[in-house]
Amino acid sequence: MIVMDEAKVIKASEEFFRANIPKSRVAESYIRQTIWSRNYALKLAEIYSADKFVLEVSAYLHDIGADVGESHPSKSAKMAKEFLLKLEVPKAKLAQITSCISNHKTGAKTYAVEEDILQDSDALVFLEDTYKVFLEKQKKKSSEEQARKNTVKKIKTILDSIHTDGAKKLALELFNKIPSTLRVE
Ligand SMILES: [Fe+2]
């Protein structure tokens, strides 16, 4: 029986995400947001006794298919599967990882605590950082006021989507640090 070396797979996953930055993303913020997502995932995994290996690998690889846009979770999952198969990750773990990645988008149905946690981690990073990128993108598409309103709405959706109490507590702290103009409709 081949025993997988988890530390080796985690290291390889980190190297893979850093070496394959989606063209549609700014490298610096992509790397920062992925690392923060990984950190939140491990923090929440500790609280909820979730599978840290599954979460760390999933967090590193969750956006590798970002270039396809809206449907990127399934693209990222497919790419992750191809990559992890070469590293002899057992089928059960592989299934958990690909489900986490496939369902990481806010609002997607979740089937395991690891999936809740990855979604929550991404949500926390949005409330800490990604909302700024979202606002700038909105400004390119509409007026300043409309961009602000869309961002307020998005922030509220993200905040309401959080599954775990541990993430809710962190989300509220992050929400309170967002400029007040982006918190009130
Ligand atoms: Fe994503």
pLDDT in tens, 13-34: 999 999 999 999 999 999 999 9
* 7 CA from centroid of ligand 1 (Å): 24
Structure tokens at 85: 């198969």
pLDDT tens by residue, 109-154? 999 999 999 999 999 999 999 999 999 999 999 999 999 999 999 9
Whole-number percent of the chain with pLDDT over 70: 99
For ligand 1, the distance from its centroid to the CA atom of residue 116, given in whole angstroms, is 14
pLDDT given at position 184: 84
Residues with CB under 5 A from ligand 1 (ion): 63
Cβ of 161: how many Cβ atoms within 10 Å? Answer: 18
Q: How confident is the model at residue 2 (pLDDT cuts 50, 70, 90)?
A: low
Name all domains of the chain by residue range, CATH numbers in brackets.
6-182 (1.10.3210.10)
